[in-house]
Amino acid sequence: MATMNELIQWPPPGRYILAISGGADSMVLLHLMAQAAASRHYELVVAHFDHGLRATSAADAAFVATTAARYGLPFEQHAAHLGRASEAAARTARHDWLQAVRARHHAAAVLIAHHADDQLETSLLNLARGSGRLGLAPMALSPAILRPLIGVSRTPLRRYAVAHKVSWREDPTNADLTNPRNLLRHRLLAGAPDAWRAHYLGLITELAARNTAIDETLGEMLSAAHIEPQIYSFSREVIHTLTLAELQELILATARRLAPGVQLDRRLIAEVAAFARTGRTGTHRPLRQGIVLMLKKGIIVLTTNRPL
């Protein structure tokens, strides 16, 4: 059986921001990285983002600050007071702040304590929400965000915490079964065989590799089609060589280039793709956030600049 040291995806020597919530997984990450800092030549900064969503959040922040001081590590914190913000909005605010901390400290990356079970649960939740290929293989590789624990499941991490006397703060909402993730974790996946979990995680890895290849191809097509700022032009002849699924991917990728963060559901993308195939020359179809698809002689144009 592999040891914890062998399971960790250790980053190369450098300066890193540790995103520490105070929960068991992040405190194990902090312990592992602090213990290895000298031998692996790490410079570490502990960062804690207080969402302000729970009554215990100030105590969580104080706990992380005290632990960072005990390890002799610099500490950064931010209290956001997000109120009733959605999970997605809270996640975006947290990631934006962590990347700002990374830039301020000239760090190589932010280290997050996501592990194998987090990836499995997120993929299944996204499947239930009708997510596409990116949602089914979440936690894609990024040079700015590293996940050293992604190859480790929750059980050995908890065993490590107990064996090494790593203290943590338990989030009381983790027992709330009205939360879809908690219901999935405690009821639906509780009895899942290890072999099934391993198989599903293997499928996620395969899909992630395919996603990388798809995104590289899309990137090449977009580079060739980028004729002016905020204008992408594609030959209608090329468009007709694509399958409907490929055309939808191309339209979605272009829209995200024109308006990063734009939300386009599958139905809308399917409608726009059908219009690109069968619409009349000289007509146009609005998407969202000012994006318009226009049909011209021999080309289709995606732009946020209407007068073309």
The radius of gyration computed from the CA coordinates of the chain, to the nearest angstrom, equals 23
308 has pLDDT over 50: no
- 161: helix, coil or strand? helix
Q: How far lies 268's CA from each of 248, 273, 277, in Å? A: 10, 9, 14
Residue 99 pLDDT class (50, 70, 90 cuts):
very high
User: How many alpha carbons fall within 13 Å on the CB side of residue 45?
Assistant: 20
Cβ-Cβ contacts under 8 Å for 199 (sequence gap 6 or more): none
Cβ–Cβ under 8 Å, residues 153 and 197: yes
Mean pLDDT of 176-183: 92
Integer Cα distance of 242 and 234 in angstroms: 12
Q: What's residue 84's pLDDT?
A: 66
Neighbours of 67 (CB within 10 A): 22
In angstroms, what CA-CA distances link 26 with 174, 182, 221, 233? Answer: 15, 18, 40, 46
- Mean pLDDT for 67-87 is 85
Q: What is the pLDDT of residues 166-175, one digit of tens each?
A: 999 988 888 8
Where does the pLDDT of residue 82 fall: very low under 50, low under 70, confident under 90, or very high at 90 and above? low
Please, what is the end-to-end C-alpha distance for the chain in angstroms? Answer: 63
Tokens linked to 239: 């468009």
Burial grade of 297 (CB within 10 A; 0-12, 13-18, 19 or more):
exposed
Domains of the chain, first to last = 4-192 (3.40.50.620), 226-303 (3.30.465.60)
pLDDT tens per residue, range 213-239: 999 999 999 999 999 999 999 999 999
CB 105 within 8 A of CB 45: yes
